[in-house]
Structure 1
């Protein structure tokens, strides 16, 4: 039986410029390429989970501008249920992204339609109730994430939160989170600890389980039960890291929903992310279940 995942999150059109070296403040550089790529942390996680084998329902909003239909189509084409994706007056969310020759990126997000998703209605809550996990991020208003986490807890559904963009988190929201998945910078911002092991200790005082992603160094998992493991990243040449973290979260959530233990789930997720960083774009880079399984089978 397929994992069932709900994503309450953002949709953005990514406006991506590729450069040799990212510009410093006040500097102008010449880019070599420009692309528009459907993205947004919520949509990225939904596409990643669907491609990794889950049944996915998406809750969010797009604008009535030309980007809106393309963002909706991207989710639908990946196999996501978009019946809870609203179309609202005004622009869709956008993200301005600069990608350098090392595969690193810097991003400016303009919320657009995402800013109007401030809560859930009864149909949204019903869609969440039948799922194995609800994935949340912070590109929607915090009130929407809180409403989704409350609905998930009431229905006995696990909540997975990616605390990005980084910022102070409401303790009431964290009380409803089952698994927190920050990257190392977000973990440091949340805890004040630069060392991932120390940051993980601090996070586990606030949530039952946490995974800190460490880029090319892999990831670190811990639980209040005392379980802890570090899984290395696969050695690959990164082309574009945009969306890699969302690929990780989507794939991790699928593996956990299918019953995989922590280490197996983390290896599945790191493999999916390694495949994604070898391709350009966010949603366009995310691997299929077959690709992940083939890569996992390699020695």
Structure 2
């Protein structure tokens, strides 16, 4: 495969522990789970796998522990046969995500980040030393602001395009987002970033800081796209929700795959529609990693787009 037009995904790889429950627990309440499932996960890993299956030449960077969970993640990712897999092993426990999924499909997630953040800014920049102007960088919010900004600045200095999914939103300011070409956030995240209660106003405020486009995902209400003076609301794909875990990651991964230079012949809004359809497949299935559409399903989604 050509070294050009790669998608560098710099993020996290964790061990997912998913608990299915009848409903979310109230504060101070103990409830019983209906079932338990373990699988590879993490926003970075999920987005990298989705982008790879959607046809991108993915170079995935993440940190895992020198333990059984880290070895399991490495083995599962080897099976994907990405363009390049660059996992750093640390003498730490592999990060863990605990997901609770209610019967109505809604979920909550708690993730550790000690292993993910064990590689400092200089180490992360060294990991993407070969990024070029023909490539695209995709990041999430799991790394520290300092490390994320260093990676973004290096990518921009190399001429690469930069997309950031601002989730989870835990940075003290939006300075890193101002240096991006595109930002993807959900309704709560965009409002927290901009300090407002209205997602369209939040997207507008972020847009003037530097990004070329901002997409706000609105769940069952679709998505809001802000680009220049254009504001477009796109309806959601109709689906009976089984588990919403990972839908946002599939959306981000597929969209990033379709925004790499070799795929940009697909119009922007059509690419978003494809990402929505892929995410809808995920919502209609149980699990997170196991719910990511296959490469053949991705080809059908894109072909029909």
Could you tell me the TM-score, scaled by structure 1's length?
0.93
Quick one: structure 1 residues 274 and 105, their matched pair in 2 at CA, closer, same or farther if it must change by over 3 Å?
A: same
Among 178, 192, 209, the residue aligned to 2:213: 209
Counterpart in the other structure of 1:270: 276
Counterpart in the other structure of 2:48: 46
Q: Give the whole-Å Cα distance in 1 for the aligned partners of 2:148 and 2:121.
A: 8
Aligned Cα root-mean-square deviation (Å): 2.0
Among 165, 176, 184, the residue aligned to 2:187: 184
- Please give the residue correspondences for 1:249-260 in structure 2 after superposition, counting only pairs within 5 Å: 249-257=252-260, 258-259=263-264, 260=266
Counterpart in the other structure of 2:288: 282
Q: Give the whole-Å Cα distance in 1 for the aligned partners of 2:303 and 2:155.
A: 34
- Please give the residue correspondences for 1:1-299 in structure 2 after superposition, counting only pairs within 5 Å: 3-121=5-123, 123-129=126-132, 132-206=135-209, 207-224=211-228, 226-257=229-260, 258-259=263-264, 260-295=266-301
Quick one: structure 1 residues 120 and 72, their matched pair in 2 at CA, closer, same or farther if it must change by over 3 Å?
A: farther
Gaps of 5+ in 1: none
Q: Which moved more, 1:272-281 or 1:162-171?
A: 162-171
Gaps of 5+ in 2: none
Q: Give the whole-Å Cα distance in 2 for the aligned partners of 1:268 and 1:3.
A: 20
Q: Give the whole-Å Cα distance in 1 for the aligned partners of 2:134 and 2:81.
A: 16
Q: Deviations over 1:229-286 (max 9, x none)?
A: 2221110111111111110000001112211222111101101100111122222211
Structure 1 residue 220 displacement after superposition: 1.0
Q: Give the whole-Å Cα distance in 2 for the aligned partners of 1:62 and 1:82.
A: 16
Q: Give the whole-Å Cα distance in 2 for the aligned partners of 1:129 and 1:170.
A: 27
Q: Number of matched residues?
A: 298
- Residue aligned with 1:239, SS: coil
Structure 1 residue 131 displacement after superposition: 5.1
Q: Is the 8 A contact 1:238 1:278 kept in 2?
A: yes
Q: Give the whole-Å Cα distance in 2 for the aligned partners of 1:272 and 1:161.
A: 19
Q: Is the 8 A contact 1:17 1:33 kept in 2?
A: yes
Structure 1 residue 23 displacement after superposition: 0.8
Q: Which moved more, 1:9-18 or 1:185-194?
A: 185-194
Structure 1 residue 4 displacement after superposition: 1.9
Q: Is the 8 A contact 1:67 1:92 kept in 2?
A: yes
Q: Is the 8 A contact 2:10 2:137 kept in 1?
A: yes
